[in-house]
Amino acid sequence: MNAGQTVFSQLVQWVPHYEFQRLAAHYRADYKVQHFSCWDQFLCMMFAQLTYRESLRDIECCLRSRPALLYHMGIRGTVARSTLADANESRDWRLYADLAQRLIARARRLYAGEPFGVELDETVYALDSTTIDLCLALFPWARFRRHKAAIKLHTLLDLRGAIPTLIYLSDGKLHDVNFLDQLPLEAGAYYVMDRGYVDFHRLHRFLIEGAFFVTRAKCNLSCRVVETIPVEPGQKVRADQRIQLLGPASSKAYPERLRRIRYHDDELCKLLVFLTNNLFLPGQVIAQLYKSRWQIELFFKWIKQNLRIKTFYGYSDNAVRMQVWIAVCTYVLVAMVRKELKLEASLSRMLQVISVSVFEKVPLPQLLAQSDYATIPQNETTDHCNQLRLNLL
């Protein structure tokens, strides 16, 4: 019999419990709480994320089915559907947002040297948003259209390790470009975004604060070519130009020069036009930077497929924000464990294995070690006790 810790308990050890208690005290989240603390709530909700629970009653049934293990998992309070619902409705979601930021800071240090396809020493971020559709009757505070509700996850993704460094939750009506007002800029960093973020007044702030942006130009861009940089014939970079904006509003909002690069994508058979305020990087590198933006699309696809952020356990704004931030904590926690234990398994495979093994008492490295089936000889035959023999007469 394995006398070790459960898989869930091993994962929880990577969460800084002391910092969690400090945050709970800061937000007075456990004020007048006697039997079900914020820590218990966090563990139950993280369990739901790891095991793909469908509802609060589902969480209650699964956890109560193993009462002897709850204490060893760190859950001290009694797990009940109504208690979880009250906690999600009333306790401050900012506690879990701040906890996610502390986990993100640790994960970024672990992935600081991770390659992402472009050889740059500076930090590179991808910026985008994704929309999550909701039922208007259940989420009236998130009205998007006349008969539809939705929320948006505006995300700033560090491309080294695909770690989300900033997430801003808004209703579906907020345009993507308005998120630039909430974005803290890092001097010397690169921000890659699609042309939905082209607003020259807001982009001028990148230049003022010493940051670089890479985006695509709109088809109605009014400008004049100031300087043309020679490019080698036959290359994917067809033109490299310094331009000056001509529109009365655009030229006033961004009076300095911009760089416009025409690039032919052989895979798409399409000519792409990039805009950037970086005047020194080769045009090919600028194109590679924009291509790396696809990682944030893969990140959105991954969290929607592997975490519970498309359906929610509560219907209030507080419950939705809390669930989103606990999902982010779960994602970053699994990414940290993968890096700390030097595992080769993908994050998707890790979650799949963990989801059916949370109550098992198996060391995480042993559980998540990837089997190398290529080492088994092709002509080797093995007998299995549960396999029937076929006798040919």
Rounded Cα distance, 305 and 347, in Å: 12
- Judge whether 139 lies within some domain: no
Into how many domains does the chain fold? 2
Same-domain status, 202 and 285: yes
> pLDDT at residue 379 above 60?
no
- Judge whether 151 lies within some domain: no
- Judge whether 232 lies within some domain: yes
Same-domain status, 200 and 265: yes
Same-domain status, 331 and 259: no
Same-domain status, 89 and 36: yes
Same-domain status, 34 and 70: yes
What pLDDT, on the 0 to 100 scale, is given for residue 119?
Answer: 84
Mean per-residue pLDDT, 174-185:
92
Per-residue pLDDT reduced to its tens digit, 272-295: 999 999 999 999 999 999 999 999
Mean per-residue pLDDT, 67-93:
90
Pick 387 or 151 by higher pLDDT.
151
CA dihedral 365, 367, 372, 377 (to 10 degrees): 130
Same-domain status, 201 and 287: yes
Rounded Cα distance, 197 and 215, in Å: 8
What pLDDT, on the 0 to 100 scale, is given for residue 73?
Answer: 86
Question: pTM higher than 0.85 for the full model?
Answer: yes
- Judge whether 101 lies within some domain: no
Same-domain status, 199 and 285: yes
Per-residue pLDDT reduced to its tens digit, 41-67: 999 999 999 999 999 999 999 999 988
- Judge whether 179 lies within some domain: no
Per-residue pLDDT reduced to its tens digit, 147-158: 899 999 999 999
- Judge whether 343 lies within some domain: yes
Where in the sequence is the domain holding 256, given as residue range(s)? 195-292
What pLDDT, on the 0 to 100 scale, is given for residue 53?
Answer: 92
Same-domain status, 320 and 288: no
- Judge whether 53 lies within some domain: yes
Mean pLDDT of the residues in the chain: 88
64: left (phi over 0), alpha (psi -120 to 50) or beta: alpha
- Judge whether 331 lies within some domain: yes
Same-domain status, 283 and 335: no
Same-domain status, 205 and 278: yes
Confidence band (pLDDT; 50, 70, 90) for 377? very low
Per-residue pLDDT reduced to its tens digit, 217-234: 998 899 999 999 988 887
Same-domain status, 219 and 276: yes
Same-domain status, 233 and 280: yes
What pLDDT, on the 0 to 100 scale, is given for residue 199?
Answer: 93
